[in-house]
Amino acid sequence: MDQSKILDSLRSHSLFGRNDIWEIMNSGTRQYSKNTAYALLQQYLKAGSVSRVGRNKYTVTAEKTASYEHQYSELAEDVARSVLRDYPYLDFTVFELVQLNRFVNHQIGHNVIFLSVESDLGDYVFDRLKTEHPGHVLNHPSVELYDQYWTDDLIIINRLLTEAPKGINQPWHTSLEKLLVDLMAEPLYQEIIHRGEYPSIYEGAFQNYVIDESRMFRYARRRNAADRLRTFIAEETSIQLRTVK
């Protein structure tokens, strides 16, 4: 079984599923089981040769694309460490505004940390963090409250919805799928980030990174933002969705 030849055959498919790999493997004289084909798929995924873009939807990873990673600031890391230390079983994610600098035309100089915490526990985390960062923590602020109390390196606590995608390297990292949905669903993000930057953010994300569209739209439906997201992508960007029509 020549794995490189199988991968070359898969490149002719814009999208393929598990059964496609099995059929390609069995195009010769030797026959392989589906379990062997699925094991090969896992090897490709682990090596980064193949990327998942939807439910049983895969593509050969282009050289220019990669899995999304962000080097968090010391403040963001410190916030995460505090939460992990005091609430080790808490589900949470951290997004910081400067994560967008790789996508926007006008660079963001003043950082804001968004700490999303599972329902009903935000108050406890707020009480803990405000002792470590006095005057720099807001709990579920409105747009008006944010404008009134904004300061550099502000920490904002908001609600983490169930089914929110988790990060790859650390569960608390904000995945690109979650970020793209939150930009469409969070009023505060829309207040802070100029709407004119949105097309370049989304196009840069899809052009340079692997996006699991099924994962993204599943979370978008949870946030009641799926239709808005789909319409925005169709009407304001050059993105061609591969798995969602």
Q: What is the per-residue DSSP string for 84-128?
A: HHH-TT--EEEEEGGGGGGT-SS---S-EEEEEEETT-HHHHHHH
Tell which residue, 121, 90, 115, has the closest CA to residue 188: 115
Residue-wise pLDDT for 116-125, tens only, equals: 998 788 999 9
**Does an H or E element contain 137, and which?**
strand 137-139
Q: How far apart are CA 55 and CA 213, in angstroms?
A: 9
Note the pLDDT of residue 207. Answer: 87
- The angle formed by the CA atoms of residues 60, 46 and 67, to the nearest 5 degrees, is 65
Note the pLDDT of residue 128. Answer: 92
Residues making up the chain, counted from first to last: 245
- Residues of the chain short of pLDDT 50, as ranges, are none
DSSP state of 81: H
Order the strands of the 112-118 sheet from edge to edge: 92-96, 112-118, 154-160, 137-139
SS3 per-residue string spanning 144-164: HHHHHHCCCCEEEEEEECCCC
Residue 126 — φ and ψ, nearest 5°? -60, -50
Tell which residue, 20, 11, 70, 112, has the closest CA to residue 209: 70
Note the pLDDT of residue 63. Answer: 61
List CB contacts of 60: < 8 A, sequence separation 6 or more: 7, 10, 11, 49, 50, 51
Note the pLDDT of residue 66. Answer: 67
**Count of beta carbons in the 10 Å neighbourhood of residue 105:** 9
Note the pLDDT of residue 107. Answer: 85
Tell which residue, 162, 172, 20, 2, has the closest CA to residue 96: 172
Note the pLDDT of residue 15. Answer: 77
Tell which residue, 226, 203, 186, has the closest CA to residue 97: 186
Note the pLDDT of residue 29. Answer: 73
Note the pLDDT of residue 56. Answer: 82
